[in-house]
Amino acid sequence: MSTLRGRGRIGWLSIIAAFLLGLATPPAAADPALDIVVDGESRTFSREALLARPDARDIEIPADIAYGRPMRFRAVPLAALLAGRPMPTGSVIETVALDGFAAHLPLDLVTNTDPAKAIAWLAIEPADAPWPKLPGKQATAGPFYVVWTGAQVKSVSSEYWAYQVAKLVSELPPAARWPQLVVDAALPAAHAARAGQTLFIAQCLPCHMINGAGSSDVGPDLNRPMNPTAYMTREGLHALIRDPKSVRTWPTQIMPGFAADQMSDRDIDAVISYLAHIAARNTEQKTAQ
Chain residues binding ligand HEC by CB under 6 A are: 101, 159, 203-204, 206-208, 218-220, 222, 228, 237, 240-241, 244, 253-256, 258, 271
CB of 279 to ligand HEC, least distance (A): 12
d(CA 177, CA 197): 14
- Which of residues 81 and 146 has its CB atom nearest to ligand HEC in the complex? 146
- Which of residues 50 and 241 has its CB atom nearest to ligand HEC in the complex? 241
CB of 216 to ligand HEC, least distance (A): 8
- Which of residues 59 and 181 has its CB atom nearest to ligand HEC in the complex? 181
CB atoms within 10 A of CB 212: 11
CB within 8 A of 120, min separation 6: which ones? 77, 78, 79, 105, 109, 110, 112, 146, 147, 148, 160
CB distance 128 to 47 below 8 Å: no
Nearest partner of 93 among 4, 193, 215, judged by Cα: 215
Longest dimension (CA), the chain: 60
If you count them, how many residues does the chain have? 289
CB of 192 to ligand HEC, least distance (A): 14
CB of 63 to ligand HEC, least distance (A): 18
Start-to-end C-alpha separation, the chain: 36
- Which of residues 81 and 202 has its CB atom nearest to ligand HEC in the complex? 202
- Which of residues 76 and 237 has its CB atom nearest to ligand HEC in the complex? 237
CB of 175 to ligand HEC, least distance (A): 16
- Which of residues 91 and 229 has its CB atom nearest to ligand HEC in the complex? 229
CB of 246 to ligand HEC, least distance (A): 13
d(CA 252, CA 88): 40
d(CA 243, CA 236): 10
- Which of residues 45 and 258 has its CB atom nearest to ligand HEC in the complex? 258
Nearest partner of 278 among 214, 215, 235, 218, judged by Cα: 214
CB distance 128 to 147 below 8 Å: no
CB of 274 to ligand HEC, least distance (A): 9
